[in-house]
Amino acid sequence: MIESKVNKELERKIDLYVNGKLNADETDELWAELIQDEYYLDYMKSVANLKAVIDKKKQAQPSAKIYSLPKVMRYAAAAAVILIAGVIGVMNYNTTENLSVGPIDQIGLDVVRSADGFSETVESEVIREAIKLATDGEVNEAVQLLQNEMETTNDTQLKAELALSLGSIQYNNGQYQESIESFELVITQNKIDVLTLEKGYWFLGNSYFQMDRLEEAEEAFKNAYALNGAYSRVAKTYVDALSTVGR
């Protein structure tokens, strides 16, 4: 309930972020907070989705009255969710006894972080359909759809995005070995964009972490950190934590 967990300052930062009014350092600080707070991570997703809906309406009807985000959130709680290839999960800090961090619980299939805010809708119709299938519980169908498409494309960027979506669905289904294979496919593709590569390393590290393959997890997190992008700060947190574990 909002009444039982109100953080007005964090809500203010979220509103500034989705409107592109935070600088890089402020954005990193915000995400360091959000990734530890499932409630406000969901709040942020809702704000982002509602903003996208508002922007679309504003473009279609320039003269229409547009309410501010806080008011819209009160009266439009059931607004349509825009399906976007996902990257954000929720930290679980208690799954490993001797560590202050743990592998993320789930990979979100509806929101992606970027340096400028939130991505547009997924361009690939196949990925959109796979996300919908997975969200509806038809995981095997989603996996098969993505695998079939990967076999037919020679576009390395598309193949990486398909593999990233496939690995995310497998991860959420507890198929960590399979997700490792998918995320490894992502990072071995040539000439893909940095954000896709970064996500591949970040989620590969979490997949290894889920299987207690800590040295391999640490190496993947180091690679994500070295790219100095959207996940650099949180990846560094994991690298620091894992480096203290005697193995």
Q: What digits encode the pLDDT tens for the residues 194-223?
A: 999 999 999 999 999 999 999 999 999 999
Distance CA 76, CA 225 (A): 38
What is the per-residue pLDDT across 37-58, written as a single tens digit (0 to 9) for each? 666 776 676 566 555 545 555 5
Residue-level pLDDT at 207: 97
Distance CA 170, CA 6 (A): 34
Buried b / exposed e along 32-68 (16+ C-beta atoms within 10 A): eebbebeebbebbbbbbbbbbbbeeeeeeeeeeeeee
Q: Given a cut of 80, is residue 5 above it in pLDDT?
A: no
pTM recorded for the entire structure: 0.62
* Cβ pair 58, 64 in contact under 8 A: yes
In the chain, what are the domain boundaries?
Answer: 8-80, 83-247
Residue-level pLDDT at 247: 52
Proportion of the chain above pLDDT 70, given as a percent:
64
Report the top-level CATH class of 83-247.
mainly alpha
Token pair 């690679």: residue: 223
What is the per-residue pLDDT across 118-165, written as a single tens digit (0 to 9) for each? 444 456 889 999 999 998 999 999 999 999 999 999 999 999 999 999
- The confidence band for 61, taking pLDDT boundaries of 50, 70 and 90, is low
What residue type is 52 in one-letter code? A
